[in-house]
Structure 1
């Protein structure tokens, strides 16, 4: 797996091993060969994610995480995608400010919050969504499985 991490904040975020563990577990649960996957993960501040959210989703507010899939798992033949020699899954952008606030509000560590946001985002890269209730249920079940497997499910 090729994980590209770009920390665009002044925060000292030393979670590469943790992030790799989360991503590998999502890929394992979804039966995807991690060795041929590439993911870009960026850490940004509230202003940056606000701007991206407005530009790409037309939502004029900050958010905790954005996912930009490259492969179209939701609409293409998944078997055909998985036959490729190399999978550029996409970009994940996590807002450090919001992740810190959410961790505090939910009463768990910043690391655990980053793990959840990474898991959530990876599922978006793999075609999951939570727009309607049925899709939301499927996505939440997968998140729960991954987080339990990692020993951090609340």
Structure 2
């Protein structure tokens, strides 16, 4: 699996973000039992940058904590059976399934960790788990979907021993 991490944050990040991102991405891929080796891109930015991306891509004029850009068009969330229907779903050099891109505002990681009274490590891990589920086709537009995503996020984080206490 290739996990490409770009740190575009202009200040120091006070957690081992590469370790956290790698562990959560791998755990999420294992959790959904993806049958392929995968590729994921993660970029860490500030509030100004994610605000600009959010405005350009989603027409929402404010910063957000995380943006997910899935590459696959799922018929059923977490069902990868359609992936082989289109060779462009795979990186021609590595053969890996291209899941998509994640953009995280580390400013929001800091703000939300304080707001929810848990560590920055936990907040970053949560945002990665949440975004990975979006890359697998899950959403939270209605309550049933939101509840399902929350359960899956918690399982992924609990499997790694990442709780609100750490």
Q: Same fold (TM over 0.5)?
A: yes
Structure 2 gap segments, 5+ residues each = none
Higher relative contact order (CA 8 A, sep 6+): 2
Q: Equivalents in 1 of 2:59, 2:34: separation in Å? A: 32
Structure 2 equivalent of residue 16 of structure 1: 18
Q: Give 1:120 deviation, angstroms.
A: 0.3
Q: Give 1:151 deviation, angstroms.
A: 1.3
Contact between 2:122 and 2:163, CA under 8 Å: does it hold in 1? no
1:119 partnered with 2:129? yes
How many equivalent residue pairs? 153
Q: Equivalents in 2 of 1:80, 1:57: separation in Å? A: 26
Choose 116-125 or 52-61, whichever is displaced more. 52-61
Structure 2 equivalent of residue 54 of structure 1: 55
Structure 1 gap segments, 5+ residues each = none
Q: Whose helix fraction is larger, Structure 1's or Structure 2's?
A: 1
Q: Equivalents in 2 of 1:51, 1:33: separation in Å? A: 35
Instruction: Provide the aligned C-alpha RMSD in A.
Output: 1.9
What is the TM-score with the length of structure 1 in the denominator? 0.91
Q: Equivalents in 1 of 2:84, 2:104: separation in Å? A: 26
